[in-house]
């Protein structure tokens, strides 16, 4: 998050205006991305979570399930390295790795600079995997149709009330690693109740990317949304 810097003089720096300018500039670029995606009829997901909640695993499962129906491309966002892009490349779909070089989130401009690396004709679905971070990515639009977040059961059911923005901004919350529920302290009722108290329209799917339990509902939601967008 970049909105609240403090210094010796007081809690909020006057440089807050810089931050607002950056967010405004980002929104303008995100809007331009959105226009391009609309021209090409590309449905775009912005996939966000803590490190290790299962973004890449969900991506792998989703590609496996839907790549015969839809032409999918992927943008991987990491601070450094290309491990995730290599996992995705195995599915023989176009993938570009963004290395943010330290930055804690993906922004609209990073996406824009990445797009010339793809052939966008006939693409149905672009999935962007954000940097693993439950805080900062929620503030930066990239021109997506929907923000989708993952909460994994080992993280605990107290997360919605502690990291509210990402739950408020997301259209979907995927509760992953339900296979671990017997071994971790996770109160499913509380997690869902607290998340819905922040965002009553939140779609919730309980899944295990390891056992594939629950994933069919997610595939169906995504497929329905892609079709509705293309026909809309």
205 strand-pairing partners: 174
- Cβ closest to its own copies, residue 140 vs residue 205: 140
Contact criterion met (CB below 8 Å) for 76 and 96: yes
Which residue(s) pair with 175 in the sheet? 151, 206
For the bound state, the minimum distance from the C-beta of residue 172 to its own copies, rounded and expressed in Å, comes to 18
In the complex, least distance from residue 159 CB atom to its own copies, rounded to whole angstroms: 6
Number of residues that bind its own copies (CB under 8 A): 57
Contacts of 76 (CB under 8 A, 6+ apart): 82, 84, 85, 88, 95, 96, 97, 98, 129
Nearer to its own copies, 134 or 222 (CB): 134
H or E element in which residue 95 lies: strand 95-99
Closer to its own copies by CB, 71 or 112: give it: 112
**Radius of gyration of the CA atoms of the chain, in A:** 18
**Interface with its own copies, residue 90, by CB under 8 A:** no
Residue 109 contacts its own copies per CB under 8 A: yes
Task: Write the CB contacts of 200 (distance below 8 Å, at least 6 apart in sequence).
Answer: none
How large is the greatest C-alpha to C-alpha distance in the chain, in angstroms? Answer: 58
Tell me if 232 contacts its own copies by CB under 8 A.
no
- From residue 75, alpha-carbon distances to 23, 41, 98 in Å are 21, 17, 7
Which range, of 6-14, 66-74, 88-96, 120-128, touches its own copies by CB under 8 A? Answer: 6-14
| CB-facing half-sphere around the CA of 136: CA atoms within 13 A | 16
By rule CB under 8 A, what string of x and - marks binding of each residue 131-170 to its own copies? xxxxxx---------------x-xxx-xx-xxxxx-----
Q: How far is the CB of 174 from its own copies (least distance, A)?
A: 15
Applying CB under 8 A, does 25 fall inside the site for its own copies? yes
Is 76 a residue that touches its own copies (CB under 8 A)? no
Which residues lie near its own copies (CB under 8 A)? 1-8, 11, 13, 15, 18, 21-22, 25-26, 28-29, 50-52, 78-81, 83, 100-104, 107, 109-110, 113, 131-136, 152, 154-156, 158-159, 161-165, 177, 179-180, 183-184
């Amino acid at each position: 998050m970049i909105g609240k810097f403090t210094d010796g003089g007081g809690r909020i720096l006057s440089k807050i205006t810089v931050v607002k300018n950056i967010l405004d500039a980002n929104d303008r670029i995100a809007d331009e991305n959105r226009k391009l995606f609309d021209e090409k009829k590309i449905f775009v997901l912005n996939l966000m979570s803590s490190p290790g909640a299962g973004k890449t695993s969900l991506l792998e499962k989703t590609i496996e399930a839907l790549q015969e129906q839809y032409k999918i491309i992927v943008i991987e966002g990491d601070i450094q390295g290309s491990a995730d892009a290599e996992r995705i490349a195995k599915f023989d779909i176009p993938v570009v790795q963004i290395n943010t070089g330290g930055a804690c989130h993906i922004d609209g401009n990073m996406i824009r600079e990445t797009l010339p690396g793809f052939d966008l004709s006939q693409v149905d679905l672009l999935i962007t995997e954000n940097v693993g971070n439950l805080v900062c990515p929620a503030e930066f639009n990239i021109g997506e149709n929907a923000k989708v977040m993952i909460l994994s059961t080992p993280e605990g059911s107290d997360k919605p009330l502690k990291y509210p923005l990402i739950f408020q901004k997301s259209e979907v919350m995927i509760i992953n690693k339900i296979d671990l529920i017997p071994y971790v302290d996770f109160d499913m009722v509380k997690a869902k109740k607290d998340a819905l108290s922040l965002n009553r329209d939140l779609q919730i799917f309980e899944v295990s990317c390891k056992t594939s339990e629950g994933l069919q509902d997610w595939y169906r939601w995504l497929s329905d949304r892609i079709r509705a967008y293309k026909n809309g």
